[in-house]
Amino acid sequence: MSTRPSEELAHALNRRRFLGVAAGATAAAVAGTAAAAPDAAAHGRRDRCHGRPAVPRGRLGIQLYTLRDQVGTVGFGKVFDALEHYGYDQVEYAGYTQGNGPITLPRLRRLARDHGLRAIGSHVSYHVDDPAGYSFATSLEQVLDDAEALDLPYVGTWDGPFRYGTTVDGVKRAAAEFNAYGAAARRRGLRFYQHNHGNEFGFCTDDPTVRIYDLMLAETDPDLVFLEMDIYWAYTGVHRFSVRPDGTPAPFDPLDYVTADPRRFPLFHVKDGEHDEASRDGYHMVDVGDGDIGYQRFIGTVTRGRYRKYHNWLVERDDAVDPATNPAGSFTTARRSAAHLHRLRA
């Protein structure tokens, strides 16, 4: 698959449509999928057999957007059955509805707990263009009420600081709102976080010496605004934005952001990509372990020292439901990615 220039925008629009509403895609049956054995042969080529587990015990999760077709057909219960079987410890929500009947938040909370899954966080739209009318900007207290009902330690947005454009002042205005949401979350015993895509690593339109991600970090309070680094999208940012618009070099390594301030990055999306020179982003998505992103190095570096059991590693594949790019289906992605990360050694 070649990543087209509109893929990141299309992904954002698709996620907006999914948040707060049930997905309606046709899914593969659960029977037989959950019981399938891990596909060791496909994942073994970059694993080391010795050393400590790269992902600490209890810290492997999945963003349920990966399985939105299954949530939209068989519901949370059967999805959680499969995730428990695959050895996941955590889930991150991308909406609280399912396609096989209504479910209350207390019931959803119990269902996750009964399957040994900790609900670690949730993706909510940032501002008013969410078609479901449910976002931090429009429904802040409801967002926080729902997070409390689900016993979430974190609640955040998948959206970038682009509400007011990509000028320096526009990014600063968005950062100020992130600070306000973080303060409101902290008053409720929660932590607010922002999840990146690739465009955050671009440059401000009125000052191309300023990287948007750097400005957002500088303008947000580290005690109020935390970060969920999507590692795949961060490396697409390296591909796209290692040179400024004027042609001067601007190299960076996403790992350096984390090692500089590991406390700000409690959550990560573990999403793999295979190099694709025909793609604007430089990669196309694959199951974790099948791509070229150096997860052994990345996770091994982050989990050294005092923060080893602080970080949480959440599998995601945006196109897992697309039969054109992932014909094996989203359950297979969840199973194979977990199998690889369970074997990965640091």
Residue 246 identity: D
Instruction: Please tell me the predicted confidence (pLDDT) of residue 179.
Output: 98
Q: Report residues of the chain scoring pLDDT below 50.
A: 1-6, 13, 19-48
Quickly tell me which residue has 């990615």 as its tokens: 337
CATH number of this structure's domain 7-343: 3.20.20.150
- pTM confidence score: 0.89
**3-state DSSP assignment of residue 98:** coil
Distance, in Å, from the CA atom of 196 to the CA atom of 123, rounded to the nearest integer, reads 12
Instruction: Please tell me the predicted confidence (pLDDT) of residue 257.
Output: 98
Quickly tell me which residue has 């992932």 as its tokens: 326
User: What does the domain layout of the chain look like in residue ranges?
Assistant: 7-343
Alpha helices in 40-163 (DSSP H): 40-43, 68-71, 75-86, 105-114, 136-149
**3-state DSSP assignment of residue 190:** coil
Instruction: Please tell me the predicted confidence (pLDDT) of residue 132.
Output: 73
Strands of 99-212 (E only): list them.
Answer: 118-124, 154-157, 191-195, 203-204, 207-211
Degrees to nearest 5, angle at CA 322 with 24 and 331: 80
